Amino acid sequence: MATIELTEDNLAATIEGNETVFVDFWAAWCGPCRMFAPIFEAAAQEHPDVVFAKLDTEAQPQIAGALEIQAIPTLMAFRGGVLVYREAGAMNASGFGQLVEAVRALDVTDVRRQAALAADSGADAPGAS
């Protein structure tokens, strides 16, 4: 599956409407972003059951600001609509492949249960990095 471009219009629906979503926050001027792009695209082709989305921080500064993106590339992973991974910096293909498999292996019901417990206690969601 090809990557999709995220905007204000489709961000929430993409994250909430899909079981597993990876979001690459990037900008055209960013060297590490350009180096990571083919790795992200290859993973999208390899895992058609996962949504791979890109958000151009220059074109969507309001979203980048709201999500407190301070460095790019930043990668976020959502499982069952819950943020389970967030890290700045490019990854190599092997590391990204391992991350994709780890996120896909998370039990969606358990992730949602832990997120609800964390919300009730006012803590950060478990698994968020």
Q: Is the dihedral of CA 23, 27, 33, 38 positive or negative?
A: positive
89 catalytic per annotation: no
Q: Rounded to whole angstroms, how far apart are CA atoms 25 and 27? A: 7
Of 15, 30, 50, 55, catalytic: 30
Of 33, 44, 91, 106, catalytic: 33
119 catalytic per annotation: no
Distances (CA, A) of 45 to 10, 52, 108: 21, 9, 23
Residues annotated as catalytic are 30, 33
